[in-house]
């Protein structure tokens, strides 16, 4: 039985698959079992599935209808939400996004727990070693040499910076409007880390001007303290996230996302 036929039977509906550039599969339609429109998200990696379920269950239990597994793939049944795109040219939007992320960090910290690997140098080295040579060559030798020289320093700062539960993939594609309220989506990459890690891709993609960054940080700091890391630690965080993007684009071709990683790496060269 195919996955879509399984859902048709289980939830008494005629579902359609939503095609998009994602590691996950998505289905939608009307469920006669629940008497409402639903959305089904299928996540292949167990650790990501568990994170999505845990975060949704703790933070937004009203969204969650059911969970299960088929062919070793976890799936989550959500209530359908009529989502709208944010209008990002509004002056206050980045201020509001700062407030939203700070509130998420605070609420997630109170309700959820994840282990924290307190050595950023270890995570960078492990991720670098997982990259194939074609990706390793994109990262300059001088960048890695400088990183190894300051690894003890950045580890000490990283360890003494308060950690929280971060979203892990914060950006406009995972932020929508629902009934005029900003909502966050997709929690499979949530983990314990320092809050600034959530800003790296966002500051290199959407909030990519000094004014946008300023407005976002003002909004965030209206809700929650956010110490700014040293220049060296920021560079390490950029290196880590850029390598993560390179790894992702090996299996999901996305030229713009790949180029973003290259730009991030160029920004931390000598």
Between CA 144 and CA 269 the distance in angstroms is: 10
Please name each of the domains of the chain with its CATH number.
3-79 (3.30.200.20), 93-267 (3.90.1200.10)
Confidence of residue 112 (pLDDT cuts 50, 70, 90): low
- Stated pTM of the model: 0.91
| pLDDT cut 90: percent of the chain above it | 79
Q: What is the mean pLDDT of the chain?
A: 92
Predicted confidence at residue 109, as pLDDT, reads 82
pLDDT value for 116:
75
């Amino acid at each position: 039985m195919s996955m879509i036929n399984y859902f048709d039977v289980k939830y008494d509906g005629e579902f359609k698959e939503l095609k998009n550039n994602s590691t996950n599969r998505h289905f939608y339609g009307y469920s006669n079992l629940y008497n409402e429109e639903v959305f089904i998200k299928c996540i292949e990696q167990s650790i990501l599935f568990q994170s999505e379920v845990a975060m949704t269950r703790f933070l937004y239990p009203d969204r969650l209808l059911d969970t299960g597994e088929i062919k070793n793939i976890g799936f989550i049944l959500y209530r359908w939400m009529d989502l709208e795109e944010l209008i990002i040219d509004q002056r206050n939007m980045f201020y509001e996004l700062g407030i939203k992320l700070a509130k998420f960090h605070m609420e997630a910290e109170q309700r959820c727990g994840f282990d924290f690997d307190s050595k950023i140098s270890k995570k960078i080295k492990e991720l670098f070693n997982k990259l194939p040579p074609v990706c390793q060559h994109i990262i300059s030798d001088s960048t890695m040499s400088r990183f190894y020289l300051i690894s003890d320093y950045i580890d000490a700062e990283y360890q003494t910076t308060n950690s929280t539960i971060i979203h892990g993939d914060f950006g406009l594609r995972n932020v929508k409007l629902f009934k005029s309220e900003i909502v966050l989506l997709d929690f499979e990459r949530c983990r314990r880390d320092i809050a600034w890690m959530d800003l790296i891709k966002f500051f290199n993609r959407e909030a990519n001007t000094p004014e946008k960054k300023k407005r976002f940080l003002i909004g965030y700091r209206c809700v929650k303290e956010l110490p700014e890391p040293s220049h060296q630690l920021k560079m390490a965080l950029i290196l880590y996230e850029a390598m993560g993007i390179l790894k992702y684009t090996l299996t999901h071709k996305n030229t713009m996302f790949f180029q973003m990683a290259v730009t991030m790496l160029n920004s931390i060269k000598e």
